[in-house]
Structure 1
């Protein structure tokens, strides 16, 4: 042990050196504070024994310098003084002194003080070493399961890759872990994880290509990872994963109760694209997420699928800017009467992404609902859908435009104000706007549905129930909803008229609509035979590719001028008289036309048109312009 003795009196220095040397200590002497400070900073002693009163740098100042330097901050300091005033002792102790001896001192007193401070310093150093070791351990070990954590796993995987090996990573997650904690406390989760980790260790030892480098690690409070240094053939690996799945599905007993958790697993194999540990971990967790989304137990990482997920994430973020960047467009698909009149258009959202081009609604609508951008997107669609027919009306358009409302939009507290504002802003009569909701939305919260539909009805807009027949509507509630239109889902239309079951369902829905004094519109009509059958069973309105695909506003503006437009006021009328049709210069090529017996309840499915063309089926082969659809985005 090295002790630094500091005193400006040579006799005292020599006496202290002699006493301490006899006890086996290595003693280094300094005649003043500055000399002692310089020596201590170059080679830190184990203890400093210093006089308080010295001419160049006194003991108090020396101690202050030692405490301020990280190299000597923890070195014990014993102050020596001939003064015994309590205030000076308190001042020294407050300044950081470990002990205080007064001159003259006894040998036993000196040795006892030195020994006590050196022992205390030794204990402090040992404690610091333990703390550093514990810190390093907790940096790499999960405290609950004592398994390696993600940091250590990453380090060991990196080592395997550096040695030219190609390990595999299997990540396991257990569903309902949060529920276990909520119901039974953290101790239950710990018990489940400990039990499952023991089962996994046993399975790893039994594996055909078991390696001493295989490792079981804890990624977080619900995910475990297995590094397989020698994955072997995929067939054998899948078989082993199947055994693993069966094993961890067994119940875990804790506190007198059996607990069941369901494993979900993601596997990633190292290749030229995953030559870093973190990359391999990300791939394995991506596979785990895919398995969870698909409802499967196990999925192997697929690069193409992962790239799609990256694109989805990119789209998710870009939806926040889509309206601002004017990438949201409205396409229009006509809704026709079986007699050939145009009722109006359904407004359909389309997204022209600046990088990916036209994005399918089946892709971006669920994303928008998930991140709640569907509200802003829906407002933009409503704005365009009210603006466009308002402009057409100045040119003679008398039909409506139908806009879909998602479940999120329908529960938006500002919905009524938003609709009213758009009607006023674009000077659009409320009857020229139809709003559609699905059965699922309507039945999710019936009191809210009734209240919201009633308030919309008070605005004067038309209301339609979309995808009818696919949900779980209660007829007791359906008759209370102030609806104007039921939309027969295309799943019941595509096999008409040949499928007896679909034909029966379509007929029943048409009869239900008639009984409830609601019109019925069939979606997905693609053939004249479907249209003819639907007209015969009382379905007044048709929509589908038989007439047109969704088209941009400019093309829709040319399209409606070719057809007589049925005024919205005719919707729901039961009169046997022909409703007034608005004919445009381009609607008919020549001659005087009489559209026969147009009624809402008893339609005539086919109406003669000039030149022998069927207005119903739109056999427009004589007009090449009608057979040249515009470029369309994905449908």
Structure 2
């Protein structure tokens, strides 16, 4: 068989072509592999950028700073937060050894520390070597005041392959300066609170939500007569008397329910020795950060003395200071409350009692003897009543007994007979035997008088007394319907006739300068020279004047009399004060009459002074203020009488044109035995002097009172020590 002969050149060409194809394929494979590697590298680079961005973003919001170092201490990376904490520039810190950075580190004692040792990798020596925990160091940084130290918590750990193939040190830095300051502030606050609580002059306690004492101070323990440790765990409610626990529990529940943030309550506590003390309990609820109740802070103030003083002042306001009997206000309250009860007919009666011959005792033996006699008569009335009613002194020698007994008619006549019997025996007054008798009027409660209330029953008894006086005195009369004209309309008409007929007279009590006891003026006091009952003091008829609507005519009558007296006085420096109540002001008639008389008699306006009764001005109107302003502008000074006993004296001093004040005699009478009265007199005097006001003290009965008041700034005084009220012709004019 013959084979074809191949051309050698053709074979070579084929071989070359195959080799070229193989080479091209290899090149294409290499190019494809290179593209994949480039793509992978680009992906890794993008991932690196993204991770770096995430890392930077994380570092920008985290409170922790991050420092990465090689094992040799060269800075590989530092976050902005870490650079700010350490006070270094992040760009200049990269690549530098930590020991070359401008750092000043100190420990808690203020001693310098090696930055490389503090920020580098630290281990705890021992058989099992371990990384050390966080360390607190101070970074000293310069500021305008010099240097300040920032407290930083440092923690380091090894990071594998952190420096290429080698491990690196990752250090976290946390600025705890603010937290440390808060902790220090809280510690200081707690210390200050405990010191303040322990040394507080009033009782304090921390009380849990079960209202039991957790902690108490020494003042509270001393107040309760016990020890601090004995109070811990003790229920607060057990400290008070049982009757006050319900109110206390209600206030505590209100706090827990969110009804109020605190409460204040006066309680009666029982000491460990059994004695009772009055306290004011102030409690506040402390809540946690979440708003839930946590505990109570309680203050306990001893209010025993202030409560006793308040009770004393209340007693004074409701009782006659001379005899200790109830006064008119208390008597009317008692009688009204009794009459409002069911079935009072035949169980209630009123006795009106007036002494016969009392004025002669005053005139012959002096007012001090008269006061002693009134005290004696008060004792006779108490004994005669024998706890079957309330005895009151209305003023002067007028007394009233409100009788309350199951058999009222029998009891009232027994009491009246006992009063007469008790006065048969002469009273021993200033080593003298003084004889007085009493005229008595009786009014039994019946449907008509009960309907009229307390004023009607008292008026009925007074009408019976009037009949007893007119019938010869020293006797008892019982009210009946025939006396009604006398007790109401008749008495009112009689008063109007008395004003018109000048039966009302003005007496003058001297006012002296306490520095030299020189008489500088007088107080005008009205009396009724009754044709049958003799000289009556204001307490026996002023209330009837108001009922009859004769207050303004009476004030005009007195004003005319006083201006006439002043015009006839030879000593042109002396002045006279006129008492005026709120019901006599407001319509301008009083001011018009007074200023008209001053002008007509050519009297210097400053020689007439208007005295306002403070208690009558509770609801002073704009018209009253206008009339007072008119008087003041005309040169008539305005004095505030009974100063210190009204409801709002400071507002009167501010709102009314007041030029001076008169200290109420209830404070004067307590000097020097009652230290509280002395303090009040001194304080009121200081207040008046601060306001540049005239100061007058009334009710001075002995020289010690006069000296005390003068020492404490009261310029003028009046009272029995300087003389009682006398008719105009008896004064030295």
TM-score normalised by L of structure 1: 0.41
Between 1 and 2, higher relative CO (CA 8 Å, sep ≥ 6) is seen in: 1
Decide which structure has greater strand share: 2
Computing the radius of gyration from Cα coordinates, the structure with the larger value is 2
